[in-house]
Amino acid sequence: MGVLYLTALRTAVRRWRIVLLLFVANLAAGMGFTAVAWWWLALALDNSLATRTLLTDLDMNVFIDLFVHHGDSLQMLGIAAALAAFAFAILGVWLNAAASVAVATEAAVSECARRGWTVFATHLRLWVLATALNVASVAAGFVVARGLTRWTAESPAEMTYYWAAGAGFVLGAVLLCFFTTVHDHARIRSVATKTGAVSAYGWAIAFVARRERRALPVASLLFATGFVSWVVYQSVGMLIVTHSAPGVALSLLWGETLLVGRKLLRVGCFAAAAELQSARQGHA
């Protein structure tokens, strides 16, 4: 499993151009929304001192004032953010499709992007299916946690509540990990065999659950790497003082390094799925 993990990361590094494409697309989306949010902020605060203060100091008092006195326009900004998030999610479907092509072939980035559009419809259906199952996974964890806490409400032990809530959380996390892994394998399968969304997803469920026992552990290891990276990011970020313009700039720059790492791991997850499927076909 360790060899497969390192192979996936090496493949992601080797395909750094597709990682860069994912990063630039996400950076452009984030900067676009930031520009719109700042334009709204300048209008809401009428280019006051508070607007300039936020350039060098992320003062929570200003945000509280916005929430209390500019709630209506803030709600409109929230609606715009929701619409933008949906548009970025659709864009992400194409980007992930291009990344799937990149790890399954040796094509150039431009060719991967073009082929990403050709399989976009299938990947969109996979995304809808995976999103529904992810929501169901979270709901299942919540229902189990709530049911267990009610069932053990009469227990005299103080930790019983936390054990019950933790059981629901673990169930939801395991289901999310499983269906996320299945989604990655389904995308690779659809690219490699040109099968439809339902067929690819059904095949991926059987592959992850029964045919290839390494799929879930390797994906879990990659997820754990992402979590450790996030912990390191947060730990270092707490040391960055955002009470000056250089501090804010450094904080933003540090955030971009996390984004690059996340995109590298995203491609690594696809690479691990492609490697496992290729190895299974080789054995077959």
Helix (H) or strand (E) holding 125: helix 120-151
- Scanning the structure block, which residue is given the tokens 């390192």? 6
Look up the pTM and report it: 0.81
**What gap in Å lies between CA 204 and CA 118, rounded to an integer?**
21
> Beta-strand (E) ranges in the chain?
none
Structural domains counted in the chain: 1
Instruction: Encode the chain (284 residues) as per-residue pLDDT tens digits.
Output: 778 888 888 888 888 889 998 888 888 877 777 776 667 666 665 654 455 555 555 556 665 666 655 556 566 667 767 777 788 888 889 999 999 999 888 788 888 888 889 999 999 999 999 999 999 999 999 999 989 888 887 777 778 888 888 899 999 999 999 999 999 999 999 998 888 999 999 999 999 998 888 889 999 999 999 899 889 888 888 887 767 677 777 877 888 888 888 899 999 999 999 999 887 665 44
pLDDT of residue 43: 65
User: Which tokens sit at 127?
Assistant: 């995304």
Give the pLDDT score at 283. 47
Give the residue numbers spanning the domain of 113: 2-283
